[in-house]
Structure 1
Amino acid sequence: MLGLNRKLAELHRNGGYIRVGLIGAGQMGRGMISQIEAMLGMRVVITADLFTDNIKKAYTKAGVDPSQIKETNDRDIAEKAIAAGYVVATSDAEMVPHLDQVDVIVDATGITNIGAKIAWNAIVNKKHIVMLNVETDVTVGPLLKKMAEAAGVVYTGSAGDEPGAIMELYDFADAIGFEIVALGKGKNNPLNVHANPDTAAEEAKQKGASPKMLASFQDGTKTMVEMTAVANATGFVPDVQGMHGIKATVQELPGLLKLKQDGGILNRKRVVEYVNGVAPGVFAIISSDKKEVHEELKYLKMGDGPNYVLFRPFHLTSLETPLSIAKAYFHKEATIAPYAGLVAETVSVAKKTLKPGDVLDGIGCFTAYGRIMTAEDQRKTGALPLGLIGPNIRLKREVAQDQLITFDDIEIVESNMILRLREMMMEQLLASGASR
């Protein structure tokens, strides 16, 4: 991210700015609007959300004069308003990627099917797309990345999100030739795979958060999804299904995340992992086969080796998203993308015993939680990718609590965008010699 501040300042001096179209005015989106209003060379010129009052409040809290906010679902009016220096609030998310007055789209919805539509429309209209929606990325990201490359635009995850923060450590360590043994993140609440919006309601109220979103953190789904994104970006895989989820301090990580034969817990190197006790940090476990490198690392107080930890103790979620916007705009580069293809999957596991006719309600809800596994294991088991679940999918036979939900267990009541993109992606993989 070095130098982006100077690029943005230069753009500002020349009278320009990156015109951002944001979809989703929840907590992440609102924070991003305020952060960008404090920056040079960038502005959120239009925001879409079902509740336009949320958008107007977000702009006002960011310091925008209410008289400078135009509310409209009309494309021509929106174009003219942005050109005249106004910001626009709209409930029509479909309109945003079609605007000539927008350079980069940000998806902050967290809803997989909507995310698929946003990314598709952004790419078709030759807009860079920044995904805060990791759930969509791990389901159809390899296809969207390929589409973006063909269209000459950037498809990217976000800086500040844990996968993006981990990728920065990976790129740093890989560029200077370290062996990277493991990549991971901390988890800041105890794992409760059966958590749901009801059990999370009281804590969510205290934190001012969505019970559904909080449940998706408590049941481990968000962790599984985030590390799946890292796997697909790097080629690293989970050592075991669901990862180990050990409890450890930062100082203990190098000794634990090494091969079993060397006294650690790993069956192999180049793995993704999560750890209880180091949140909100992210880490990379590195090593080297060079004696002089080990000597210097010891001199630099990095530990006694042979493994060492690179640790970043924070990630600022959507407050860092502007860096990915700028990187896509200026350098035509992604912060994180599925460079390795479909290496891992987050699949669906029953939160309770499910009966025929039950609807798979959604991520963070009452019927399913996520578990990471290799893509090879997903193909062998026929497990249903979690990003596909929704009210258009229901059970056709019983699935016991904590058992995998497979394609054979479900029926699709109605197709949607993410299902169609998934089918397209799998057809391409089949044609290239892979199988589901």
Structure 2
Amino acid sequence: MNLARMLKARADEGRPVRVGVIGAGKFGSMFLSQVRTTPGMHLYGIADLSIPRARAALTATGWDADAVIASSFDEALRTGRTMLTEDANALIAADGLDVVVEVTGNPAAGAAHALKAIEHGKHIVMVTVEADVLVGPLLAERARKAGVVYSMAYGDQPALVCEMVDWARTCGFRVVCAGKGTKYLPSFHKSTPDTIWGLYGLTPEEAAKGGMNPQMFNSFADGTKSSIEMAAIANAAGLAAPSDGLLFPPCGVDDLATILRPREHGGVLERSGTVETISSLERDGRPVFRDLRWGVYVVFEADPSARGDYARRCFKEYGVVTDSSGRYTALYRPYHMIGLELGVSVANAALRGEPTGVTEAFNADVVAVAKRPLKAGEMLDGEGGYTVWGKLFPASTSLAKGGLPIGLAHHMALKRDVAEGEIVGWADVEATDTPAIRLRREMERSFASGVSAAAE
């Protein structure tokens, strides 16, 4: 990829890529640990609501905080040190900053920070995938018009999957399915922050000692995060969402090409060209053999016509694992390293002017679904909480049903009772006028004409 060579050249020239990180949590800290040892990158600043937390993140990831912290952005620019601030907008506006890494995990804040970065001509790496699924098409369009890069975060599953999809298409293969693995059982949809640690084999005390946020981890277990990530992939890679949510089929790596093929050919997919998350557990709770819990995959096929015989023969000659027909095969990556790999996105944006995955369309959406019977007057508590989980739908279905995006299902009171398993709609909540809601409505108006139940 030559990115390391390009970064070294910038280091030799004394022109490092200057990076500002908004959010000093787990993902941000993982990036801090690597930017410290990446020639050609300068950690220009960290914005966090807690300066002590940002300082602690530096110390925990190997920095000498006393030596590296600057007293001003001007000093940071001159000396190569790092400015800490509680004001994200001040960091975004700082002279000399090249790339903003948005890692707050808050969709409303993420969207606002992206707009501010675009206004100031700074590239954005959007780690907060919830913001991307909420209003990503609009943010990407505004960034293009402003001449800056709006990018998915390499190391997180959506960007890695988009890279694999791009590889397959560049090689002339047709993408059948793409996605990731997770630990899933149907009962997990009802999981709450009070029950989550049993699913991870931890006690609440062990989790607290490790600084683990129960609501965040619960969003991974209850299906919300998988839905959000699959929506991001569908919108960036021109793929479709299943018509009634993810299937989460149990599947090991050796069976990808057999299970994740269209139903008409013996698989579980309702059609070709979709996203899907596979489970590392059989429905009875037994572990799947050679599971892909931490990894990503793409299933693809050679030309299905007679003219594709040569490529299919090559599959066989070179030991490629296929389905029984020899038509479908897959590649997978067993792990993703999250923030440890984020520098690839930063370098791509600053040095090549390219994203590592970017939202292109509004193919898929994630709406709030009741985890239990909800009563009028109850307050929704968003991803990973006690009230709702996020379910993936085609964008056309979400709009037709008036579904409330999961990224906005925070601190909204219900106007009526909602049954367990029922979609929560815009009409069901007391929605005040906020910048995030206005931006979402603008995105829907701008992209609704291109919404289709099918993609690719």
Task: State the TM-score bracket (shorter-chain normalisation).
Answer: over 0.9
* 1:88 aligned counterpart, secondary structure: strand
> Gaps (5+ residues) in structure 2?
281-291
* 1:246 aligned counterpart, secondary structure: coil
Task: State the partner residue of 2:136.
Answer: 141
* 2:45 aligned counterpart, secondary structure: strand
Using the size of structure 1 for normalisation, the TM-score is 0.94
Task: State the partner residue of 2:100.
Answer: 105
Question: Counterpart of 1:326 in structure 2: which amino acid?
Answer: A
Task: State the partner residue of 1:282.
Answer: 296
Task: State the partner residue of 1:405.
Answer: 424
Pairing 1:70-85 to 2, within 5 Å after superposition? 70=69, 77-85=72-80
Pairing 1:21-420 to 2, within 5 Å after superposition? 21-70=20-69, 77-191=72-186, 192-201=188-197, 203=202, 205-207=205-207, 208=210, 209-277=212-280, 278-289=292-303, 290-304=308-322, 305-339=326-360, 341-391=361-411, 393-412=412-431, 414-420=432-438
Looking at structure 1, the residues matched to 85 and 197 of structure 2 have their Cα atoms a distance apart, in angstroms, of: 30
Question: Counterpart of 1:399 in structure 2: which amino acid?
Answer: V
Deviation at 1:58, TM superposition (A): 1.9
Looking at structure 2, the residues matched to 426 and 271 of structure 1 have their Cα atoms a distance apart, in angstroms, of: 22
Deviation at 1:303, TM superposition (A): 2.1
Looking at structure 2, the residues matched to 376 and 312 of structure 1 have their Cα atoms a distance apart, in angstroms, of: 31
User: Do the aligned partners of 2:260 and 2:267 also contact (CA within 8 Å) in 1?
Assistant: yes
Deviation at 1:238, TM superposition (A): 2.3
Question: Counterpart of 1:288 in structure 2: which amino acid?
Answer: A
* 1:247 aligned counterpart, secondary structure: coil
- 1:238–1:424 CA distance, 2 compared to 1 (3 A): closer
> Gaps (5+ residues) in structure 1?
none
Deviation at 1:206, TM superposition (A): 3.1
- 1:415–1:69 CA distance, 2 compared to 1 (3 A): farther
Q: Does 234-243 or 277-286 show the bigger shift?
A: 234-243
Deviation at 1:205, TM superposition (A): 4.7
- 1:87–1:433 CA distance, 2 compared to 1 (3 A): closer
Deviation at 1:63, TM superposition (A): 3.4
Deviation at 1:433, TM superposition (A): 7.2
Q: Does 81-90 or 8-17 show the bigger shift?
A: 81-90
Question: Counterpart of 2:355 in structure 1: which amino acid?
Answer: A
Looking at structure 1, the residues matched to 379 and 355 of structure 2 have their Cα atoms a distance apart, in angstroms, of: 36
Question: Counterpart of 1:52 in structure 2: which amino acid?
Answer: I
Deviation at 1:337, TM superposition (A): 1.1
Looking at structure 2, the residues matched to 358 and 163 of structure 1 have their Cα atoms a distance apart, in angstroms, of: 33
Looking at structure 2, the residues matched to 417 and 69 of structure 1 have their Cα atoms a distance apart, in angstroms, of: 36
User: Do the aligned partners of 2:362 and 2:447 also contact (CA within 8 Å) in 1?
Assistant: no
Looking at structure 2, the residues matched to 246 and 200 of structure 1 have their Cα atoms a distance apart, in angstroms, of: 21
CA deviation string 1:322-352 (max 9, x = no partner): 100100111111111111x100001110112
Task: State the partner residue of 2:288.
Answer: none
User: Do the aligned partners of 1:69 and 1:89 also contact (CA within 8 Å) in 2?
Assistant: no
Looking at structure 1, the residues matched to 402 and 170 of structure 2 have their Cα atoms a distance apart, in angstroms, of: 37
Q: Does 193-202 or 363-372 show the bigger shift?
A: 193-202
Question: Counterpart of 1:287 in structure 2: which amino acid?
Answer: E
User: Do the aligned partners of 2:241 and 2:363 also contact (CA within 8 Å) in 1?
Assistant: no
Deviation at 1:20, TM superposition (A): 0.5
Looking at structure 1, the residues matched to 355 and 38 of structure 2 have their Cα atoms a distance apart, in angstroms, of: 21
Looking at structure 1, the residues matched to 170 and 160 of structure 2 have their Cα atoms a distance apart, in angstroms, of: 16
Question: Counterpart of 1:315 in structure 2: which amino acid?
Answer: H
- 1:79–1:419 CA distance, 2 compared to 1 (3 A): farther
Deviation at 1:356, TM superposition (A): 1.5
Task: State the partner residue of 1:426.
Answer: 444
CA deviation string 1:105-124 (max 9, x = no partner): 00111111111111111111
Deviation at 1:359, TM superposition (A): 1.5
Deviation at 1:70, TM superposition (A): 3.6
Deviation at 1:93, TM superposition (A): 1.6
Deviation at 1:300, TM superposition (A): 1.6
Looking at structure 2, the residues matched to 397 and 345 of structure 1 have their Cα atoms a distance apart, in angstroms, of: 23
RMSD of aligned residue pairs (Cα, Å)? 1.7
User: Do the aligned partners of 2:380 and 2:410 also contact (CA within 8 Å) in 1?
Assistant: yes
Looking at structure 2, the residues matched to 58 and 355 of structure 1 have their Cα atoms a distance apart, in angstroms, of: 41
Identity of paired residues, percent?
A: 35
Looking at structure 2, the residues matched to 433 and 31 of structure 1 have their Cα atoms a distance apart, in angstroms, of: 37
Looking at structure 2, the residues matched to 139 and 15 of structure 1 have their Cα atoms a distance apart, in angstroms, of: 39
Looking at structure 2, the residues matched to 190 and 43 of structure 1 have their Cα atoms a distance apart, in angstroms, of: 43
User: Do the aligned partners of 1:34 and 1:58 also contact (CA within 8 Å) in 2?
Assistant: no
- 1:388–1:416 CA distance, 2 compared to 1 (3 A): same
- 1:433–1:21 CA distance, 2 compared to 1 (3 A): closer
User: Do the aligned partners of 1:116 and 1:417 also contact (CA within 8 Å) in 2?
Assistant: no
User: Do the aligned partners of 1:350 and 1:404 also contact (CA within 8 Å) in 2?
Assistant: yes
Q: Does 421-430 or 299-308 show the bigger shift?
A: 421-430
Looking at structure 1, the residues matched to 425 and 70 of structure 2 have their Cα atoms a distance apart, in angstroms, of: 44
User: Do the aligned partners of 2:363 and 2:451 also contact (CA within 8 Å) in 1?
Assistant: no
